[in-house]
Structure 1
């Protein structure tokens, strides 16, 4: 018998990199006790640095009652960590064999009925739950970077996931303050990542062919369609592009352009030259700002957008 989503008090975060650490910061800010586990050397120090860096933004957004960084425990033993869980969020690197083994270990150590969620950015749960003794409680809870600021979580189960687990996880994330898409079918890369990937691949093609610089690509989004997307997504944006005739007029008028060679969805070869061009372009655009500087800048901007739209 699993606890009610509203009864969750202790969240275990297995894996504390950029995504897992972001989850730790978020759950702490929402007033949960968090037990973190990560086998990497120096993981606890990096995690606490990440949480401290995120805390000003989370404080500005508003902390839940009882939220405190002192409620974080770093536990080096996975079994001892999972034994305390009311909910588990796994955020290990994107390595299928690793995730299979880790989810099986988490499943073996976690009390019966407790839901185990994965932050995977692309693997179907069907492929990851194969070694679990009780795969019915495993589900994908795919967040967006940084999880402590970006509201969306995509929830989807695998072939062996119990239907009530998908519903439970969706309810839990909503209670925790997230915006949730509950997917009815597994899709590689889920929804948002597939859309991001299409844009990313086209950007790499343009850099590789010399058609655009890194700076031009970023400006084309931040000062172009990116300004519309916090208000209306791509479908509603094109609905408005049809004027009073809406999407119907837009499709009838611009539909033939879908056959024009405007995009190349296959990925370009990641040559050394392309890699170096992208890295050097990002360094130029950063203009000496450190990663911590850029994180703080991003967080201030996201908060401003959320507040301007009445979502924070």
Structure 2
């Protein structure tokens, strides 16, 4: 069964249709694939090589600053600091950190960007994957190293102080920020009609030459095993989907997925298999448990 979702923003679609071909570019970044579709208007003279370079540069900067898979990234350098040492972080890193801390406050810690030790312990980070749950003692020890309130953050000077053993993890927000950065780079090039996708997270703007908005199909499997398809139009909107069906392991008949509860240090027991959310920017689409 197909269901069509039409957001309110569609009333703001431009009346003048763009003239030009739809160009598709793609590549690899952030441990996943990306793709961009845009309308190349002849009067603007967009060079595909320049567009691809701008996209790759935007994503590479996010990776260099916020990837825990890179030992020399800014986030990894902070995670390796001894207690009491600090680091001056780049502006984009600071933007993402401040948004993450804002949501940590609003959610009372349901979203917590400081649970990197727990993410690694459960094998969902750059550390080697595991096939059985860690011990309760190890989980408690990682919990003691975590907690956004422990983070020393001087926003005026972008100075971040390591309290000792704390590991930042931006897996729930950095990819969305990357989508936003790609969209911003396209806007800077004068492109106004496009669809950005990075690892299943999207941002769409304006329309295609035939007047249609950018449509994205979502698939959801229910407990009965049937498959419904949802198609959503995105214009001036970001879309992200998260669930327990991609990163998990099974042990003694139970599934342990990558959505961790910062309060207990354990994966959620009764989380939905998949949730899709729309927002004005992709960075806002952070994955956190409901209290």
Under a length normalisation based on structure 2, what TM-score does the superposition of the two structures give?
Answer: 0.25
Q: Which of the two has greater strand per residue?
A: 2
Under a length normalisation based on structure 1, what TM-score does the superposition of the two structures give?
Answer: 0.24
Higher RCO, Cα 8 Å, sep 6+: 2
